[in-house]
Each structure stands twice: as structure tokens, then as C-alpha cells.
Amino acid sequence: MRIALAEAQAAADRGETPVGAVVVDPATGEVVAAAGNAPIGDCDPTAHAEIRALRAAALKRGNYRLTGLTLYVTLEPCPMCAGAISHARIGRVVFGADDPKGGGVAHGARVFDQPTCHWRPEVSAGVLSTEAAGLLKVFFRARRGRRSGEATAVESEEG
């Protein structure tokens, strides 16, 4: 999770919402892929940290199925990312901060709890949540200060 937090900080330094993700092989401890949010820089609304890490891991493994791997992410995955996690057949998801407004695992759509979900990973929540939430709070506090009262759609990730 510390690597995911570093990826989140790097994303914040680029002006992206500070979310980081890491795919790890628990059998070997190998970090297969790591990424931070990049929808602004990549001009890609799907460039969430989880999606970017899953894509990189799939390319590295030469297989879109990532069965048995663990995904660490600093913020509860949104419904889009939860769907991608299910399709990738990730074995375990570990996330830091809850996202009551935009999350799709423990909140909102609860993608893995739906009968139409084909693959349900093991889920662990709250790992280093104080640090993860702190990055988001600092980031959004600074953005609000620059825009003096203008709300943003991504502020839902502040939790």
C-alpha cells in the first residue's frame, strides 16, 4: 500500500486526483505494475489508477486474466474500476479510504455483490486509510482554495 500511496502522491504532483494502485503477485511478492490516476494527462476518462495498473499488469503477464494477483489501491474503486477488476479476475482487492459518494465496492453500486458479477475478489478495506484520505483532503482543500468555492465533480472522492 505504501507504493500505491507514492503513486497517489505522484498523481497529485501532476494535478491529478491522488489515487494510486499496485498489482502484486502474493506468491512471490513481485510488484507486477503500479500506476496513479491520469485522466487529465492522458485525456482519457478511463485512466483511473486501477485501470492503468491492470492494463500494465496484463501486458507484462501477456494475459488479460490476472487471477491470483492482489490489487492495492488507495481509494475504494469506483463502479467502472470494480467492473474491470472483476473482468481481470483479480484475486484480492485491498483499498485504503472509503468513497461513500463514488465507490463501487463497499458503497454505491457494490459491483461485487451483484448477481450479474462474474468474478468476486476477496476485499479488504481500510488499509492505511488515514494516509490515503489525508492525500485526498489536502489535494481538494488546495483546489477549493484556488477556485474559491467552486465545487468539482471529483470532490466526491474526498469521502
- Considering 16, 50, 157, 158, which one is annotated as catalytic? 50
**Count, residues in the chain:** 159
Alpha carbon 145 to its chain centroid, in Å, reads 25
Residues contributing to the annotated binding site for Zn(2+): 48, 78, 81
Is residue 78 within 8 Å of residue 104, measured between CB atoms? yes
Catalytic site includes residue 157: no
Task: Provide the 3-class DSSP secondary structure of residue 119.
Answer: coil
Annotated binding site: 48, 78, 81
Q: In what order do the strands lie in the sheet with 20-25?
A: 30-36, 20-25, 70-75, 92-97, 122-125
Rounded distance, CA 90 to CA 112, Å? 12
**Cβ of 55: how many Cβ atoms within 10 Å?**
18
Q: Which residues belong to the active site?
A: 50
